Amino acid sequence: MLEIKGLDQLNKTLSELGKVTDELEGELGSIQFDAESAESAESIELAIVEMENMVDKKFENYASNPVAIDMADGIKAAYRQMIIDKASEARIQADSKENKNGR
């Protein structure tokens, strides 16, 4: 007879992933930053830290689940890039307005 071990752990991992996925439905939270101020880098960094804290809070009950941790890391990386991209867009728009008004 062939015995397969680890299915209980796999079922637990998959069950936890289902739960955390359900918890991620909807809005995770909101953050704000000022891409146009002199302190924009600090504002953006604080927004990233705040976002990472929100994600960590959602995943805190799954700290022993390596797949959930990988998922959390991926989400944080994606949101980090989105924040950086939004800040860059805002900065470009502000510079463009400034150049048009300065002429």
Note the pLDDT tens digit of each residue in 45-100: 999 999 999 999 999 999 999 999 999 999 999 999 999 999 999 888 888 877 77
Q: State the first-to-last Cα distance of the chain, in angstroms, to the nearest integer.
A: 83
State the amino acid at position 67 in one-letter form.
V
Q: Which among 17, 3, 8 is positioned nearest to 66, based on CA atoms?
A: 17
pLDDT tier at 39, thresholds 50, 70, 90: confident
Q: Which among 101, 90, 89 is positioned nearest to 34, based on CA atoms?
A: 90
pLDDT tier at 38, thresholds 50, 70, 90: low
Q: Round to whole Å and give the CA distance between 71 and 94.
A: 35
**Which uninterrupted H or E stretch holds 56?**
helix 40-59
Whether the predicted pLDDT of 35 surpasses 90: no
Contact 57, 51 (CB under 8 A): no
